[in-house]
Amino acid sequence: MKNVKKLVLSATLLILLAACAPGTSVQVNTSQATLQLSAPGSNPMLNQGDASGRISRAGAGLWHGIIAPITLVLSFFNADVRMYEVHNAGSEYDFGFLLGVILVFSVLGLFIRMRR
């Protein structure tokens, strides 16, 4: 039974990841509503500086990943706060951002484990 659950979970995750490919779109229709889900496409601001000419790289991505949980909450109350910098260096920034998010949740998991 555990193997079946693992297989179903793996298949579901694979389908969800495949659905996140750039440019994909899924539309769900019900009798009362229509919902369209679309994956993000390319970033038109890639490798273009902001008003000061700065482009965020891996270091900024790491920092933005670390503060992402806080900026997510702040973005609900302030429309000017964003989690992600669009004026970035592409994969380099994305890698730093992902490492920052992983770092935060790893440290939180470690603290929770130590308290038990």
82 plus 97 within the same structural domain: yes
What rounded mean pLDDT belongs to the chain?
Answer: 82
Range of the domain at 88: 43-116
23 plus 47 within the same structural domain: no
How many CB atoms are closer than 10 A to CB 101?
19
60 plus 85 within the same structural domain: yes
Dihedral over alpha carbons 27, 94, 14, 103 (to 10 degrees): -120
pLDDT tens digit string along 10-55? 777 766 666 555 556 667 777 888 777 666 667 777 787 878 888 8
How many independent structural domains does the chain possess? 2
Q: Whose structure tokens read 């920034």?
A: 93
81 plus 99 within the same structural domain: yes
5 plus 61 within the same structural domain: no
